[in-house]
Chain A
Amino acid sequence: MATEILMPALSPTMEEGTLAKWLVKEGDTVSSGDILAEIETDKATMEFEAVDDGVIGRLLIEAGTEGVKVNTPIAVLVAEGEDVPAEGATAETAPAPAALNGEEGKIATPASAAPAPAAPKADTSPDWPEGTAMKTQTVREALRDAMAEEMRSTDAVFVMGEEVAEYQGAYKITQGLLDEFGARRVIDTPITEHGFAGIGVGAAFGGLRPIVEFMTFNFAMQAIDQILNSAAKTLYMSGGQMGCPIVFRGPNGAAARVGAQHSQCYAAWYSQIPGLKVAMPYSAADAKGLLKTAIRDPNPVIFLENEILYGRSFDVPDLDDYTVPFGKAKIWREGTDLTIVSFGIGMTYALDAAERLAKDGISAEVLDLRTLRPMDTDAILASVMKTNRLITVEEGYPQGSVGNYITSVVMEQAFDYLDAPVINLAGKDVPMPYAANLEKLALVTTDEVVEAARKVTYR
């Protein structure tokens, strides 16, 4: 079977070159590794080797030809004794060898780029058995119980951070843990985020399961190198040998009147990083179930809490042990006219808005993502394919937001289902101001969610 030899790309950026010289002629027998030609690029003259064995049936490009495009057939290779096909007849194309350093054209296409016309199947199974008895708990209590339960079952789990032990937690999330587990496992650190985050990651490499509390995630910026470069990447860089089972947790996002340096949402930041998992619960039940999952997870988990939600009460299953899986969104409210996707404290605006919209006859479906990485895009797509309209709600900055990513997923996989442009609601594109009136203006509001819902439903 005759094979076409194609003009190779000899560097990642080469598009065309000069076929300077043939070192073989028609009828020559060649084997893999023989030099066939010299090819000039704008940077250098390179030798071009044969990949397959055979006989040169025909040279298609004359020596000295300039501007030969990459992947143009330049010769035909036939098997020993085989006829040379007539000019213009189709021969099997041998792929040009990749650029020497193999940087282009060799990357498998990620699955997400493929169109998915069929409606994805969202997992809507209940998180705990129907009829489970419930109790009322604050998010704060739920988080503490999650840690205490996991510490009771596994000695390798410990908590470290500023004021987590004797002070009982700057926000009282670790209240009572020192009394029950002692100073070996509930460890006050000096104010030294970069250092203790690194020590936590090293302890995880060494086989422990640290829970590292940041007094707020604003302070974790001091430690972000250890989180990204050491915790998130080591499994990959070690070819799977060395994992990092660690939880970084603490309040994230705007609190109240604490100004620009203490009011920032890191959801979009961390959810960009392969190797990290990112959870951001809204309710107490999810806070508990997700934190237990996070502590058991063999990977580094960023667990984003919210100071304003700490004191809110919710129904929590009255069970000895339950977990909430990562990558499974929760439908808080079913609806038919539009989908509102949110997470964390954004859910309060989403749910309030849905309530108000219902009074005006607009039926909103409200999805709580719960984890941003992995993200339950199937649930988003299934809902959008039903309602045909989508708005996203978060408190972080608008540029490069979580909503922007969701929008791109919906554009790629459910474009034909959209009856209106997607609207991303986010915090305003400003550092957080201190003044009460300006601070209110900087955050996303229920009014804005309602207004966006009317826009996408044209009502």
Chain B
Amino acid sequence: MATRKSSANSNVSAEELLGYYRDMLLIRRFEEKAGQLYGMGLIGGFCHLYIGQEAVVVGLEATAKEGDKRITSYRDHGHMLACGMDPKGVMAELTGREGGYSRGKGGSMHMFSKEKHFYGGHGIVGAQVPLGAGLAFSDKYKGNDNVTFTYFGDGAANQGQVYETYNMAMLWDLPVIFVIENNKYAMGTSVQRATKSPSLWERGAAYGIAGEEVDGMDVLAVKAAGEKAVAHCRAGKGPYILEVMTYRYRGHSMSDPAKYRTRDEVQKMRTERDAIEHVRELLLQGKHASEDDLKEIDKEIKGVVNAAAEFSKESPEPALEELWTDIYA
């Protein structure tokens, strides 16, 4: 079967485009469901939703190969789904159940999958950045060509350890892609209220690290930039910075009333720049899919998410003995 090109100016097949649509939709529907379960009291504590930012992880995962690693902050559900972790295991971790990825002991912010090379899920803002460089260090030490995607937000970009890491990553040519997910707000503080730097990626220049700004609401633009960054790292040229301009539709966490921005601002993003709508239009305009095809996908995703929610409710709470396990290997 001949591969059809999408209407975008990009070397992406229709099948790939449909895949991105499916992956982004899974994240959105999953997060909406997580929000519901939180409201019902089934999910506790902190719960940071990824709604609005889906194109970032989906675009970058499209550039990864087996063996590549990823690590991120506490807004991590999307990253886990995008790298192929089981929605049931993720949702059951959110509800604190035995069937969760960490058997209920990690929660929303602390999940891992050795199998999918997903190294967390870290709750301390910025701490995952040196950890990600360390993962890249391990690959370079072993002499393979794997890369590590190290995600952090515009808030974390002001942490000192990020710059300590930039320095060493460049000094040692570590194969790490620093992905700054700039969603414009560090909790309630806008980027403009946190720094006078005109851009975050340019700070890498002080350490000699190449980088660029990327439109994070366009999955194809993210993928194209990701391919460039991955090629740079695999060629042994050291780290690369992608500042991906994105937007979160929901509050910082479930308990955030989001008074620091207007409803209009959010609404404008949703109606004009939504990443999923964008791909939907590409698919329909390019006649790569019909309305019915997309409805079918919607239905399929809904089924996956509902099954995950059911599993997360039915899975039992961890046995009380679990309190004392996994403290030492």
Which A residues have a C-beta under 8 Å from some C-beta of B? 100-102, 106-108, 158, 184, 189-190, 192, 194-208, 225-226, 229-230, 234-243, 245, 274-275, 277, 298-299
Contact = CB atoms under 8 A, between A and B. Distances in A.
Which of under 10, 10 to 19, 20 to 34, or 35 or more describes the interface residues of B? 35 or more
28 contacts: A108-B320, A108-B323, A190-B164, A190-B168, A194-B161, A196-B168, A201-B134, A202-B130, A203-B137, A203-B138, A204-B134, A205-B134, A206-B134, A229-B124, A229-B127, A234-B112, A236-B105, A237-B102, A237-B120, A238-B102, A239-B100, A239-B104, A239-B106, A239-B112, A240-B329, A242-B112, A242-B119, A277-B328
Interface in B64-106: 69, 71, 100-106
Nearest to A229: B124
Interface of B: 41, 44, 69, 71, 100-106, 110-114, 119-124, 127, 129-139, 141-142, 160-161, 164-165, 167-168, 171, 317, 320-321, 323-329
Given A195-B168, A238-B102, 11 more contacts: A108-B320, A190-B167, A195-B164, A201-B131, A203-B134, A206-B135, A230-B122, A238-B112, A238-B326, A243-B329, A298-B328
A205 B123 CA distance: 17
Contacts of B106: 237-239
A51 to B, nearest CB: 15
Contacts of B69: 206
Contacts of A195: 130, 161, 164-165, 167-168
A241 B135 contact: no
Contacts of B167: 190, 192, 195
A161 B135 CA distance: 17
B127 A299 contact: no
Contacts, number: 155
A235 B327 contact: yes
B134 to A, nearest CB: 2
Q: For chain B, what secondary structure do more than half of its interface residues adopt (helix, strand, loop), or is it mixed?
A: mixed
A202 B122 CA distance: 12
A238 B120 contact: yes
A242 B113 CA distance: 8
A207 B136 CA distance: 11
B89 to A, nearest CB: 10
Contacts of A197: 130
Given A195-B167, A298-B329, A237 B110 contact: yes
- From B119, B123, B329, name the one whose CB has the most chain A CB atoms within 10 angstroms: B329
Contacts of A208: 137-138, 141
Contacts of B324: 108
B105 A237 contact: yes
A202 B135 contact: yes
Per CB-CB distance, the 10 closest pairs between chain A and chain B, nearest first, are A202-B134, A198-B130, A206-B138, A195-B164, A239-B102, A202-B131, A298-B329, A239-B103, A237-B110, A238-B112
Nearest to A236: B326
Nearest to B137: A203
Contact of A229 (B119, B123, B130): B123
B120 to A, nearest CB: 7
A274 B327 contact: yes
